[in-house]
Amino acid sequence: MMSGDRQHHVIFMPSGLRGYVPDGTLLMDAARQLGVELESICNGQGTCHKCRVHIETGEFPKHGITSDEKHLSPPTVREQQSFGKAANATFRLACQARIEGDLLVSVPEASLAHKQIIRKSANTQRPLTVKPAVRPLFVTVEPAMLDAQPGDWERLQTAIDEQHHLNGLRINLHALRKLQATLRAGDWQTTIVLREDRDILDVRPGYEDTVYGVAVDIGTTTVVAHLCDLRTGAVLATEAAMNPQVAHGEDVMSRISYVMMQPNGLDTLHRAIIDTLNRLIASAAESAGVAIDHIYDLVVVGNTTMTHLFL
The per-residue pLDDT for 123 is 63
Q: Provide the residue-wise pLDDT of the chain in tens; the chain has 311 residues.
A: 555 579 999 999 888 899 999 999 999 999 999 989 888 777 788 888 889 999 988 887 777 899 999 999 999 988 888 776 555 567 899 999 999 999 999 888 778 875 444 556 666 566 667 788 999 999 999 998 877 778 999 999 999 999 999 999 999 999 999 999 999 999 999 999 999 999 999 999 999 889 999 999 999 988 999 999 998 888 999 999 888 887 677 788 988 988 998 888 899 899 999 999 999 999 999 999 999 999 999 999 999 999 999 99
CA 218/CA 53 separation, integer angstroms: 31
Radius of gyration (Cα) for the chain, nearest Å? 28
> CA separation (Å) from 155 to 139, 141, 167, 183?
11, 6, 12, 11
CA 270/CA 277 separation, integer angstroms: 11
Check residue 221 and report its DSSP letter.
S
CA 160/CA 236 separation, integer angstroms: 30
DSSP reduced 3-state for 206: coil
CA 251/CA 47 separation, integer angstroms: 14
Is 269 in contact with 258 (CB distance < 8 Å)? yes
- DSSP H or E segment with residue 67: strand 65-67
Report the chain's mean pLDDT, rounded to a whole number: 88
Beta carbons within 8 Å of 186's beta carbon, 6+ residues apart: 204, 205, 206
216-258: per-residue pLDDT in tens? Answer: 999 998 899 999 999 888 899 999 988 888 767 778 898 898 8
Q: How many percent of the chain have pLDDT more than 90?
A: 59
Is 98 in contact with 27 (CB distance < 8 Å)? yes
Is the CA virtual torsion 240, 242, 244, 246 positive or negative?
A: positive
Is the CA virtual torsion 118, 123, 124, 128 positive or negative?
A: negative
The per-residue pLDDT for 89 is 65
Give how far the C-alpha of residue 16 lies from the chain's centroid of Cα atoms, to the nearest Å: 26
The strand pairing partners of 202, in sequence order, are 193
134-180: per-residue pLDDT in tens? Answer: 999 999 999 988 777 789 999 999 999 999 999 999 999 999 999 99
Check residue 23 and report its DSSP letter.
T
One-letter amino acid at 230 equals L
Contacts of 156-165 spanning 24+ positions with Cβ under 8 A: 156/183, 156/190, 156/192, 156/203, 160/192, 163/139, 164/137, 164/139
CA 78/CA 99 separation, integer angstroms: 17
Q: Write down all domains in the chain, each with its CATH number in brackets.
A: 7-111 (3.10.20.30), 134-205 (3.10.20.880), 212-310 (3.30.420.480)
